[in-house]
Structure formats: C-alpha cells, structure tokens
Chains A and B, each alone.
Chain A
C-alpha cells in the first residue's frame, strides 16, 4: 500500500511542481512594483506628459537638459497629437498635456480650471516642388493659396500667380495639392489662417484639426507631406517651419496684412507674436479663439501660432499627483519657459518674446496644490545615485528564479524517492500495472475540458467585449445621423458646428483596396505554398518558407516607410505609367495621371503584407494532407498540378479558406501602412473613380483622425467606422463559408449525376475527329466503323494531344509558382536592404542599452524600447498563446458541432478584421481608465486580443487535419483524453501551431496603434507594471516623424533591431520545437 501512495504522488508531482513554480513567478512579478519602489530612490520623480507632435523635439531636449540640472526628476513626454494630449489630460492619465490649439469651450467644460502656458511658437510654411523654382522665394498671397486649396486655381501659370512672380517662369501644369491626412495642430493653424484671409474658405471648409478637403492628396505627418512634395513635381503643400528648415525644403514668401511679402524667419514670426501679446488673456482664463495668424505689423509673418502646455490650476485635481511631484512639475515648467527657451533656435523653434514669458510666470504663481500656492522654487540640487530600471528587472527575475528553483528542488527531493523495485514475474507486473492504473481517475480529463472551455469562453468574452464596446461607442453617431444615414452618407466634416459624417466612400475604399490585395496576394501565396510543399526539395523549401516568414516579421510601419520612399515609385514608373499611357484614353479604369499614392499602390503593398500570413498557413495546411491523397492522383496519371488541384486543394479547402480570411482580416484592418500610401482623400473624393485615384479606407480614416478627434460626435463617428468594418468582416466571412459549402455540395451533386463516360473514354470521341476520318477515308461511315484501328489511333492522338497540353499546363504552373516566390522575395530583399543600409551604422551596445539622448543628437540609444517590447510582447504572448491554443483545442477536439463553438468561431473570425486601433481603444477604456495610468498590463492585454484569434484559428485548422486514427490509437490504450490531446495530437500538429504562434508574435511585435493608447511610450526604463513603457514600433514611429537625419537613422536602426528580434524568436522557437519532439527522446 505504501508503494502505491508513493506512485500516486509521483504521478502528480511534476504537475504540482510546475504549477508551484508558475505561481511563484507570477507572484514575484506581481509584487515587483513594490520591489521597484523599495529599490528606486524615494526622491526619484517621473513626470509624464503627452500631446502635440510639433513641440516634441523641443520638450525632448528639455528632458535631456533638465536632467543635468535636476537629476532626480525624469521628464517623459510622448507625442500622441494635440487631441490625444487633451483627451489624456482630461482623463488625468498624465501629469501635463500639450496642444497646438487652445481648449475649446466644450473641452474647457470637461477640464475645468485648466491653465494655458504657451511654451513655444510654431509657424506653418508653404512648400512646393517646381523645377523652374528650386529655391525659396515664390510669392503668394493668402487668398491665392485659399483658391489653390479650394481647387479654384488649378494651373501654376494662372495669371493670379504669375502676376506676383514676374521674374519667375511658371509651368503650364496642373497644381497637385497635398495636405495632412491626420488630424493635426498644423492643419488647425493652417485652416485658421485660410479662414481669416478667404471668406469662401471660412464658409465652405472652416477651421479644424481635420477638415473636409475639397481637393488634393492627404499624407501622414509632416514627413509624409514633405515626401509627397519632394517626390512629385508640381506639388504644393504646407509643413511646420522647423521641418522645412531642417530638411531644406523651398518655401514661399507670404503677403501679410500690410501687403509686404515676408519670408518666414525667427524674427518675422517673433514680430507677429509680439504685436498680439498685449491682447492675450490670463493663464487661467479661456483661451478659446486666441489666434495669432494674420497678425498686424509690417514685418509680421502671417502664419504663426502658440503651442501650449496644459496644467490644472490646482494640481491635486489629478489624484495620482503627490505634493513633491506637483512642486517639481511647476519648477520644470518655470525653467522651460525661461532658460529652456535658449534651446529653441537650434531646433528651429521660435523663442517666446519677453512679454509672453512674463505672462507665463504670472500664471505659474497662480498654481496651487490642495488650495495652497506652490510657486516655483529654486533647485536645491539633490544628488542621487543612478537608478536603473534594467537592474530592477534583473533583480526581480533573479529573485523569482532562485525562489522557484529552490522550491522545485525541495519538492523534487521530497517526491522522488529513489527506491527501485524488482518485478519478478509477468503476473506480478500485471498486478503492479493494474494498481498504478487504478489510482488514476478521470479528474485530469474533467479539468482539461473545463480549462479548454474556459479558454474558449475567455476568447468569446474578449470578442464580445470588443464588439460591445465598438457598438456602444458608436451609439452617439447612429443617433445623430441614423444608422443608414451614416452607412450611406458621403460627407465627412469634423469641423465643430458643421459636423456631418458618412461612411460610404471608405466602405468602398476598404472593399476596393482589400479586393486588389486579395486578388494579387492570395494567388501568389498559394503559388508559394505549392512551391514549398509540393515542388521544391525539402531544404530549399524550408529555407524559402523561413525567408518568407521574415516578411511577417516586418512591422507594418516599416512597410509603410518602405512603400513611401521606395516602392511607390516602382509602382508608378513600372506599372501605373505604362498602363495609363497605353490605356488611359480608352479604358476609364486606367485614366488619371498616377503618382503612386493611390488605391492601386495600397492594394499591392497590402498584398505583399498578407503574403507571409496566407502562404505560411496554406503551406502548413497542405503539408499535412496525407501523401496517399497525392499518390492516388498520381496513380491515375495526373500531373503534379493536377494532383494539387484534384487531391490537395479539396482536402485542404477549409484550411486554405481560413488562411485567406486571416489575410483578408489583416488587409482590411491595417492602419498605418494604408494611411501612408493611399492618398487619404475624404468625402466624395474618397470614392475611387479609377484604379489610380487616391482613396481612404475605414481603418486609415480612424488612424488619421482618432488621435486628434476632440468632440464626442467625432470620436463616436470614428468608432462607428470600426463597427462598420466589423460588420463587413462578418459578412465576408459568412459569404466565404457559404461559397465553400456550396461548391462542396456541387461537387457531390455532379459526381452523382455523371453517368456519362468521360471524355478520355473510347465511347465519346469528339465529332470533328470522326469527320476528319470519314473525309480521309474513301467510302462511307460503315468503312469507318469497320476499320476500328483508325478509331483507336484517334483516341491515342487525343490522349497524346491532351497530355502534351497537360504537361504544358503543368510546366506553366511550376513556372508560375517560382514567379510567385520571386515576387515575394524581391520586396523582402528591398525592405531588408533599405533597413540594413540605413540602420546598421547606428547599431552599437550603447544604442541597445541606453536611454535616448536629446532628439536630433546622436547620443543615447533605444534601450527602453527594446526592454518594453520584450516585456509587452512577452507578456501579451504569454497570455495569448496558451489561451489561443486551448481554445483551438476546444474547438477541434471537444466542441463537435455545438452552438457555443460556432459562436466562438464566428466572433473569432470577425475579430481578425477589426483594426488594431479599435482594440487599442477598448483596452484604453477598460484597462487604462480602470488602473488610471498607461501600463505594460494594458499593452499586453491589447496585444493578446490581437494575437488570440490568429492562434485559435491556426490551432484549430492544424488539429483538424491530424488523422483520427492517431487519436483512436491513443484511446485504445486507455490513455485519458487530455493526455492524448496534448502528447499525441498537439504534438503531431506542433509545427502548424508553432507557425501560428510565430505569426501571431510577429504580428503583435510590429503593432503601433494599440500601443499608443495603452503603454504611451517613454524615454525611461521600466519601473513598474502600472506605468508607461516604451516599445520599438512606437519609437520608430516617433523617430520617423522627426525632421532630423539622426532621428531617421535611429529609426532605421530600431527597425533593424525589431526585425532581428522577431527573427531570433522565430529561429529559437523552431529550434526548441525540433528538440522537444513528442514524449522526449531522452528516455530511450
């Protein structure tokens, strides 16, 4: 009896041990913030701010300089857009906000007692690309610019322009207008100016961070506008002054109120601000309507504007603000508006004039904490020893692993007595076995089933949560416009007071771009899958599929940059221009002069982006098709292609459909990439009239405007776009399922009714052959039938003719698959080349481990981003992988045809098409607002929602293909189902599941949009689970939007690191999977 107890314990000891270790690890991680607090210096203070993109380089250099003066104060400012800044400031998730526009009345109501502190001055310049005017100095007036942007002046040699520039030669070509597609303070200032100088503009368009542009191409960020201007002749657009200065773009001199043409410069802009500074309100008053554009004064440049810091008058309004922190915040701002101004000019910012500095100092004197004034104090120069987040993490990990290990050893020694028993006879052994088996009850099965159902339920819950939040968030706009009014409306005007929203153009844009992407991407993916699984030798195939999976590792933002800088010119010059030249006149589809920023380019780049997903899953699905299927086809004399077509495809049909749906989901849900290259038209102009028209998708519009949306209706309208996308995905899904079940029914039907002998049979000769024969023969039809040999030779001829045709088709298909592989590898090569070329120079140990230096300098590194990515993606996939696999196991092994399973599948598929930014919004509303700060947890939660559906789908598909006989073999040995599932079925399908996980991790590693809403970003190392962290895609995104060469190099370097990280993960996961085969060969 004693032995039996022992063995029972032994049976479970490993499970218990692993559970214990996991709990201890989790526990340690959970208390790590406490750890960190004890460890970190008690007087170390981090001040988090977020908002406008425009002042980011300046505030970032303040961060760097201020740390030298006050080492214990860490300033963390993240550029998320003015609207985002106001939103976060209102929600009190940050310590200070920053905005390029003053708070509107409605915003002031939501954030009462907000103080405006102008911290720097921005200016917008008009830039252009004219071969005849390569330098600055084109003269323009406000009304002329307004007419150009209204689409009324369309030619460069319009008399209105030439009369102002008599010394210049202007071409007789169309003016291509470009504007910001994303909501931005720059656009706000720009439209503010245009409204002042043109009554027509004011009437038709109005002022806003996003407006309904009557004409032109939209580009993302200053960077995007500069790129369009630089790469497209005859364009005109507007960018920030600091951007134009550092990138040396040509800019126009503008006429001011007094009729002088003024060059934008520090002096002319400061002059403009000085003339209005006397009329500025107090810091605690309303600044709504304060505008410094079109300022009076003979030397004033007409487009200048403040950028503001936002603080609560009583800093204790923010519950997470301690008194010490409040004091440090006031000190920092006081420093920024005085000494901090000296860093402006180097970065292309206009320093505040003295009058405004004085106003700010008065404002700061008004600040209070719980009613008590806290005026700025002079620094007492606290010394501190360096606190390093990395060290803290190492300490936590080390502590938890040591604890885990010690406990593991103790348990092991306790539960593993080393007594050996001899087994005398067969009967004795039989009894012993029986006794062992006796003690095993069915608890394991029950637990496993409950866990699997739980995972599926959790998945369903997440999906339902996202769906519910999306639709709940849309209710405002549906109430305002009516559901059908919104879906079929064509207007999109977010300007306050003229709000009107309709989604139809973007629905069309989404369907068209995704359609192009699928039409190009799916056949190429299938070609690759066929090549890798059916044609190529094992080694070549394996390395090829590895290389193609690399494409999945490239974050979409890098695709976007590559498409913007490289690929769109290929498309324009190699495909679009020839097509347009050849058919532009005859086929309306190809009309319109292309410049590479249109729905066609977007479709192609999306196709490239979905290829790795679709081809990897298709490959795995095709690989598990049993060989007997192929052999059956070959035995009938089928060519390789025919075997694929008749045996492999039908067998793998549902898996291939699943792969395509995942690809489609990715294509319709993509935000950043599309935004960069689709041209971003709004309103009626977004309905593509030709293949080469600029357009806009539902996802890209959300990405463009969400961060700056500042009215509830606008936010609701954007969320409703997500809801519309959700519905579209669901409809496509249902349609795809119907098509599949219809075609499979058709086949059965056909087979049942096909009693006719086949064409190849002797009884059914084509009539032409007989006729030929009788012509050649001498007498009559009877002669034909008697000379049976001739008929026979005819059959042979047909077969020969047919087979040579078939062999030709087979060769063609083989060539096509090779072409597909090449088509996927060329862009990959180009991307890697671009990233490698630009990124390798900056990579060093410091680059990887240090915090960022001042923006624009070449100091410091991206350490926090590397660390943050590891943390967020690691935690996210730790949640998603087990949940996804278990849910997939439930669907494949337990669910059968249950309703619940159908619901889970349905929600899961629908969710793959939801843009990640919507998931970011959900995570923000649930986790961030609940905890009260941005955090790793929120980021991991959001990423896990994105990853789970991929893992679930791939797991289910691969498990389904494991032959049932394998399961039965397991059952027949009396092994509990959960063990069969884990150690036999899942083990057989592990390559496919692993592909799913790798794809999932690759996908979330490159995500940007949801991270902005959940982890915010920071320049500091990780300190706690409930504070902002950084991530590589965020860092790349922010570096890329800076006007500095060094920042771009750092961005490419970060991209290279990101790709290498995904690559390493990919390789090591595969390596691990190869080592740990099945039950472990170590026992043999």
Chain B
C-alpha cells in the first residue's frame, strides 16, 4: 500500500529505487541531457539545467534559440506537435517525467503553463474557464470548485476586477485580464511548477507590470520558469537566468551574475545588445 505522499508524486512511485535514489532532492526541476527535434531538425542539444524550488528562472536568447521548445519539453507539450520528438530526462521532484511509465497527460496536471497569447476557452464564461481544468478532470464537488475558482482568481490578481462578471464570456475581457485569467486557470489545478512562455509579449506595459508583480507573489508557492524576449523583464523578475543560443544552453546562473558579469563572451554580447 503506497503512502499518499508517493501517490501524489506521480507519475512514478519508484521513488526509492534505481538511479532516482542517487539524486538528492535539491532541485524542483532537473533537466538532464535533453535533446529535441522537429522532424530531422534538432532544436535542443543536450540541455542540462537545475531549477530550485520557489524561484523564478528566466530563459533568454535570440529568436529560434530553442527557449520555447525547452519550456514546452518541461510538460511534454513539445511532442504533441506532429513530427516533434525529445530524448533525455526531466526530473520533477526527482521523478522523471520522460520515464516510460509516465503519462504525458498526468504530467501536465502538475505543471501548469501560460502561453504567449492569452487563450481563454472561447465558449466558456470567466468562471468556467477557471473551473474547466477541475471539471473536465472529473471533480464534481461544487463547493470545492467554487472555492478554488475564487482563490485562483485572487491568486491571479483578477478577482476584484471580475467578481461581478463571472458569467461573462472569458474572451470578453481585455488582453491583460485574459492573460491573468489564463494564469488563474493554470493555478486552479494547484500546480507545483508554472511554465510561462513569453506571457507579456502581447500585453501593454501596465498589464505587463501586473503580471510581473504576480510572478513575484506566485513564486512563494510555486516554481516558475519563464521564457522572455525582454531582458529587462528577466532582470526584474528572475532569480536565475539561462541564456540559450542555437539550441544550446550557453550560460546559466543567478540573474545578477548573468547580467553584470557573464562568463561567456557570447552572453556578454547578447546582454549588451550587440546581436539578437
């Protein structure tokens, strides 16, 4: 009879066996030798990266460097594109989500994702958008759902703005509100890791700063990995920053160090705006 603790740590309950035993639980997310392809084209080349719990890690780099591909590998979204594939290991709480027995659907329930453009479900109300993950995953308890919806909207700093308009279609909100709705939708699943793929690229500065504040708040409970095009944003919100170039991880370290004293020349040139 496995303990509840083990059950929560899906997909694998081989917690005390094999190579997993050797890895100590220092890191929330641990990426080991990750390679990814689109058809025959390799998009990621042997990425190794460890992310600490309750931090925010930014992925930066020029367009096409693979940062979006990387983040999409972290919840096994990448392989859903036709022709795409990945090899390697991604450990979340020391459990490999690429293990054979791991279920890519169940993996996504523990790792939330926010996309580049706000994408609320077009046919659903604000309320239903937040509740969708719970309802469609079989939660029937209305009281529980209601509680979680409220808490998630509060968590996404949207509650005060929409509390009287919960029945309105989700798509009727403004762009910034829609993006926070999408964050609330992800939060409702009680994820442990939140992946954000350029979440502010389609938003104005005010909406952007709201999201950035939110990231500060959320990382108290979650581990956040964010892709951003905006280096200032990375400097503002990230505790750690990874610089990628042509599918390779060039440099990774505390944000301050990357921005003020990068080890690699390539990083320095990118940070200072010499290319990109």
**Are the CB atoms of A435 and B7 closer together than 8 Å?**
yes
Which of A33-41, A126-134, A378-386, A971-979 contacts the other chain?
A971-979
B224-246 contact mask (Cβ, 8 Å, vs A): 1 or 0: 00000000000000000000000
Contacts A435-B4, A436-B137 known; A971 to B108 CB distance under 8 Å?
yes
Stretch at the interface among B57-65, B109-117, B249-257: B109-117
Q: Give the distance to chain A from B196, nearest Cβ to Cβ, in Å.
A: 11
Check if A429 is an interface residue, CB within 8 A of chain B: yes
Query: CA A977 – CA B145 in complex, angstroms?
Result: 21
CB-CB under 8 A from B128, the residues of chain A are 1078-1081, 1083-1084
Q: Among A140-148, A558-566, A737-745, A962-970, which stretch is in contact with chain B?
A: A962-970
A11 adjacent to chain B (CB < 8 Å): yes
Tell me whether B105 and A976 are in contact (CB under 8 A). Answer: yes
Q: Say whether B140 contacts A10, CB under 8 Å.
A: yes
B127 in the interface (beta carbon within 8 A): yes
A983's partner among B108, B136, B142, B148 (CB-CB below 8 A) is B136
What's the least CB distance linking A131 to chain B, in Å? 66
Q: When the two chains form the complex, which single residue of A429, A438, A970, A980 contacts B144, counting CB atoms closer than 8 Å?
A: A429
B77 within 8 A of A: yes
Q: Is the CB of B107 within 8 A of A974?
A: yes
Given contacts A7-B140, A963-B119, A1079-B132, contact A438 B10 (CB under 8 A): yes
Residues 125-162 (chain B) with a chain A CB within 8 angstroms: 125, 127-128, 131-145, 147-148
Interface assignment of B106: CB less than 8 Å from any CB of chain A: yes
Distance from B152 Cβ to chain A, minimum over Cβ atoms (Å) = 11
A440: which B residues are within 8 A, CB to CB? 137-138
With CB as the reference atom, state the residue of chain B lying closest to A432: B144
In the docked arrangement, what's the CA distance between A440 and B10, Å?
12
Please give, as numbers and ranges, the residues of chain A lying within 8 Å of B108 by CB-CB distance: 971-974
Binds A, one of B15-23, B30-38, B183-191, B259-267: B183-191
A1084 touches B117 (CB 8 A): no
B182 pairs with A969, CB closer than 8 A: yes
B82 and A973 contact, CB distance less than 8 A = no
**CB neighbours of B40 from chain A (8 A):** none
What residues of chain B lie closer than 8 Å to A438, measured between beta carbons? 7, 10
Contact B123 A437 (CB under 8 A): no
By the criterion CB–CB under 8 Å, are A436 and B127 in contact?
no
Distance between B275 CB and nearest chain A CB, rounded to angstroms: 25
Most A CB atoms within 10 A — which of B131, B140, B147, B182? Answer: B140
Is A1083 touching B127 in the complex (CB atoms < 8 A)? yes
Determine the chain A residues whose CB is within 8 A of the CB of B120 once the complex forms.
969
Residue of A nearest to B75 (CB): A972
A55–B41 Cα gap in the complex (Å)?
Answer: 76
Q: Are B131 and A1083 in contact (CB under 8 A)?
A: yes
CA distance A975 to B142 in the complex (A): 18
Interface presence of B122 (CB below 8 A): yes
A987 touching B123, Cβ below 8 Å:
yes
With A437-B109, A971-B108 known to touch, is A1081 a contact of B185 (CB < 8 Å)? no
How far, in angstroms, from A233 to B148 measured CA to CA in the complex? 81
**CB distance B148 to A975 under 8 Å?**
no
Chain A, residue nearest B170 (CB): A1078
What total of A-B pairs shows CB separation below 8 Å?
A: 149
B127 to chain A, nearest CB (A): 4
Inter-chain contact B113/A972, CB cutoff 8 Å: yes
Which residues of the partner chain B approach A420 to less than 8 Å between Cβ atoms? 141, 143
Instruction: State whether A973 and B106 are in contact (beta carbons under 8 Å apart), knowing that A897-B82, A990-B123 are contacts in the complex.
Output: no
Q: Is B27 an interface residue (CB 8 A)?
A: no
Closest to A987 in B: B123
Q: Is A442 on the interface with B (CB-CB < 8 A)?
A: yes
- Judge whether A1081 and B125 touch: CB under 8 Å: yes
Chain B residues near A1080 (CB-CB < 8 A): 128
* CB < 8 Å neighbour of B125 from A429, A436, A970, A1084: A1084
On whether the beta carbons of B117 and A988 are closer than 8 Å, the reply is no
Encode contact with B along A72-101: 1 for CB under 8 Å, 0 otherwise: 000000000000000000000000000000
Docked Cα-Cα span, A423 to B190, in Å, equals: 14
Known: A966-B121, A987-B123. A975 touches B133 (CB 8 A): yes
Q: Evaluate whether A980 and B119 lie within 8 angstroms (CB atoms) in the complex, with A434-B7, A437-B109, A973-B109 already known.
A: no
Report B-chain residues with C-beta under 8 Å of the C-beta of A990.
Answer: 123
- Report chain B residues within 8 Å CB of A1077: 123-124
Contacts A969-B182, A988-B123 known; A974 to B109 CB distance under 8 Å? yes
Contact size range, A: 35 or more
- Are B122 and A966 neighbours in the complex by a CB distance under 8 Å? yes
Minimum CB distance partner of B108 in chain A: A974
Docked complex Cα distance between A432 and B7 (Å): 11
Which of B119, B125, B136: most chain A CB closer than 10 A?
Answer: B136
Question: Would you list which residues of chain A between 571 and 596 have a CB under 8 Å from chain B?
Answer: none
Distance from B129 Cβ to chain A, minimum over Cβ atoms (Å): 9
B217 within 8 A of A: no
Q: Which of A1065-1082 contact B (CB under 8 A)?
A: 1077-1081
- A795 on the B face (CB < 8 A): no
- Pairwise interchain contact B185-A969, C-beta atoms closer than 8 A: yes
Give every chain A residue within 8 A of B127 (Cβ-Cβ). 1083-1084
Point out the residue from B80, B136, B166 that lies within 8 Å of A975, measured CB to CB: B136
Complex: how many Å from CA A438 to CA B107?
11
**CB-defined contacts of B7 to chain A, threshold 8 Å:** 434-435, 438
In angstroms, Cα B167 to Cα A1083, docked, is: 10
Q: Cα distance A442–B101 when bound, in Å?
A: 12
Kindly identify which residue among A11, A974, A1079, A1081 contacts B105, using a CB–CB cutoff of 8 Å: A974
CB distance from B126 to the nearest CB of A (A): 8
Q: How far is the CA of A1083 from the CA of B124 in the complex (A)?
A: 11
**B103 on the interface (CB 8 Å rule)?**
yes
A975, B77: Cα distance in complex, Å? 12
Q: Are A971 and B121 in contact (CB under 8 A)?
A: no
Cross-chain contact A973 with B185 (CB below 8 angstroms): yes
Interface membership of B206, Cβ < 8 A? no
Q: List which B61-103 residues lie within 8 A (CB) of chain A.
A: 75, 77, 80, 82, 103
**Within the assembled complex, what's the spacing in Å between the Cα atoms of A10 and B145?**
15
Contact present for A423 and B144 (CB under 8 Å): yes
Given contacts A965-B117, A1079-B128, contact A442 B166 (CB under 8 A): no
Contact assessment for A968 and B77 in the assembled complex, using a CB-CB cutoff below 8 Å: yes
Chain B residues with CB under 8 Å of A11's CB are 138, 140
Q: How far is the CA of A969 from the CA of B132 in the complex (A)?
A: 11
Q: Which of A10, A436, A442, A965 contacts B119 (CB 8 A)?
A: A965
A435 to B106, CA, bound (A): 12
A433 within 8 A of partner (CB): yes
Interface residues of A in 938-984 (CB under 8 A from B): 963, 965-966, 968-977, 979-980, 983-984
What chain A residues lie within 8 Å of B121 (beta carbons)?
A: 966, 969-970, 984, 987-988, 1078
How far apart are the CA atoms of A972 and B196 in the complex, in Å? 11
Would you list which residues of chain B between 178 and 201 have a CB under 8 Å from chain A? Answer: 182, 185-186, 189-190
Q: Which residues of A contact B123 (CB under 8 A)?
A: 984, 987-988, 990, 1077-1078
Distance, CA A407 to CA B166, complexed state (A): 36
Distance to closest chain B CB from A3 (angstroms): 10
A514 smallest CB distance to B (angstroms): 36
Contact of A973 among B117, B122, B133, B167 (CB under 8 A): B133
**10 further contact pairs, Cβ within 8 A, besides A429-B144, A971-B105, A1077-B124:** A423-B147, A433-B189, A437-B10, A965-B115, A965-B117, A965-B119, A969-B185, A971-B77, A1078-B121, A1078-B128
In order of increasing CB-CB distance, the 3 nearest A-B pairs are A974-B109, A1078-B123, A973-B133
Interface on B for A, CB 8 Å cutoff?
Answer: 4, 7-8, 10, 75, 77, 80, 82, 103, 105-110, 112-113, 115, 117, 119-125, 127-128, 131-145, 147-148, 166-167, 182, 185-186, 189-190
Instruction: Mark A residues whose CB is within 8 Å of B.
Output: 7, 10-11, 420-421, 423, 426, 429-438, 440, 442, 445, 896-897, 963, 965-966, 968-977, 979-980, 983-984, 987-988, 990, 1077-1081, 1083-1084
**Could you write out 8 A-B pairs with CB less than 8 Å apart?**
A437-B109, A968-B115, A972-B113, A975-B133, A987-B123, A1078-B121, A1079-B128, A1081-B128
